[in-house]
A and B are shown apart, each in its own frame.
Chain A
Amino acid sequence: MTFASLIFYLLGLVVLIATLLAVTARNLMHAVVHLVISFVGTAMLFYLLGASLLAALEVIVYAGAIMVLFVFIVMTLAMPVSGGEGWRYPLQWLPAGVLCLVLLVAFTALLAAGPSVAQPMSLASASPLDLGVYVFQRYWLAVEVVSFLLFAALAGALYLGRKSRTERQGEGR
């Protein structure tokens, strides 16, 4: 076992455990913090697999922006610590288990049916410059579409988040 593969398995274990803790956490803030660990671990995995630009983006966008957004929402909604959920639905884990079983069978069948991918990969790295040039040469139309999508998301979030007229009048009184 080489050093790189040792790091891969360690990071994979950390990511998996952190994600499991996040999913089962009763306290929403704990879930978010566990998820930050999971995303930072995924960023390291990306770096190990040769995607240095994506590792940076993962930390900036996922672990940074998205998780900060979650923290703000959890704080502003001022919910009880359990998020109002109260763990009243143990039966909900039954359909989740069935879904997991079906997906597990599907993934196993996919891996078994596909081409043999069991030989170890050699390390390689794509420089951020290469990836950037590649994206803007091959996928320039998709970049434009994504910019439209982000603009629409901005407008939609602003529209949904504003206060309605009745609430504003209620504050004025």
Chain B
Amino acid sequence: MVPLEHVLVLASLLFLVGAACVVARRNLLMIIIGVEVMLNAAGLALVGGSLYWRNLDGQALVVFILAVAAAEVSVGLALVVLAHRRRRSLNPDDFKMLGGSR
């Protein structure tokens, strides 16, 4: 099998792509997708470490990452729907007025 190093390199590359997505895209949905990609990369690194050290702690942590990701996405998408209903836009630059002026 592959050394742990290669698993970590793959996970960090995936994390980089997710971080770039969060910073570069100007769409609320794409920002949430970037966060998902980063969480997924963290899970991959944890599973690799779990195999390397023959320890189930890493896999247990990934279970909780899955649960947190599900919760985060449900609330995040509800917020996106609310924002779209208010402004008819998904561009984060359109949401810079505090207090929701009309």
Contacts and interface: CB of A to CB of B under 8 A. Distances in A.
A117 to B, nearest CB: 4
B8 A16 contact: no
A166 to B, nearest CB: 12
B84 A77 contact: yes
Interface of A: 2, 4-5, 8-9, 12, 15-16, 19-20, 22-23, 28, 31-32, 35, 38-39, 42, 45-46, 49-51, 53-54, 57-58, 61-62, 65-66, 69-70, 73-74, 76-77, 79, 83-85, 88-89, 92-93, 95-97, 99-100, 103-104, 107, 111, 117-124, 126, 130-131, 134-135, 138-139, 142, 146, 149-150, 152-154, 156-157, 160-161
Contacts of B15: 103, 107
Contact of B17 (A20, A62, A89): A20
B9 A111 contact: yes
Q: How large is the interface on B (under 10, 10 to 19, 20 to 34, 35 or more residues)?
A: 35 or more
7 contacts: A31-B33, A53-B59, A54-B66, A57-B63, A77-B84, A83-B29, A157-B78
B86 to A, nearest CB: 10
Contacts of B20: 23, 93, 96-97, 99-100
B8 A117 contact: yes
Interface SS of chain B: helix
A77 to B, nearest CB: 5
A16 B60 contact: no
A124 B91 CA distance: 46
Given A61-B69, A99-B23, A134-B60, A118 B14 contact: no
Interface SS of chain A: helix
A61 to B, nearest CB: 5
Contact of B19 (A76, A99, A119, A123): A99
Contacts of B63: 54, 57, 131, 135
Contacts of B84: 77
Contacts of B73: 66, 69-70
A118 B5 contact: yes
A9 B71 CA distance: 32
A138 B60 CA distance: 9
Nearest to B79: A160
A104 to B, nearest CB: 7
B9 to A, nearest CB: 7
B26 A85 contact: yes
